[in-house]
Amino acid sequence: MRRLQSFPVDSTNSMACWRRVAPSWRVAWNFAVIQFSRYLPFLRLKNFLLRLVGIRVAPSASVGLMAMFDVLRPDLISIGENTIIGYNATILCHEFLPHEYRLGKVEIGSWVLIGANATILPGVRIGDGALVGAGAVVTQDVPPGAVVGGVPARPLRRAGGEGG
């Protein structure tokens, strides 16, 4: 299940209305800080910068190089203790559709692994201890301890190591 708020638009496509999501100055700030942090190999400094744009990131979380966070509403993202976000993963809190845009929190639990090049869509909750495979597109909640992969992400194994 995805927890999303929908905002209809009438006059044009929803992406043209991005200023309704966040003010221009805030998006510019978020973009600059997030883009700079993508290239930093220093985990503590990267976490500090991500907190400056409103991401709730635990001090023990590790964010890989090139990870990309939502620049419109990064304040809707939370990352738990000892979680690893892999290389070039993308975490989104907004989506633009032709006649509406949607916003949703992304909650990533503790001891989670998000594989390289994975994409997490808005309104998704990833439970503690879950593993998201490289290249997966997560379109719905991932239960604690689950192993998911693919496009869209599907269970590969049940919690506790049983085959799926």
The SS3 assignment for 147 reads strand
Could you give the residue ranges of the DSSP H alpha helices within the chain? 24-38, 43-52
Residue 99 is a catalytic residue: no
List, in sequence order, every beta strand (DSSP E) within the chain. 5-8, 56-57, 62-63, 68-69, 77-79, 84-85, 90-91, 94-96, 100-103, 106-108, 113-114, 119-120, 125-126, 131-132, 137-138, 147-149, 154-157
Check 46, 73, 94, 102 and give the catalytic one. 94
Token digits of residue 76: 């809707």
Q: Within a 10 A sphere around the Cβ of 2, how many other Cβ atoms?
A: 16
Give the residue numbers annotated as catalytic, written as ranges. 94
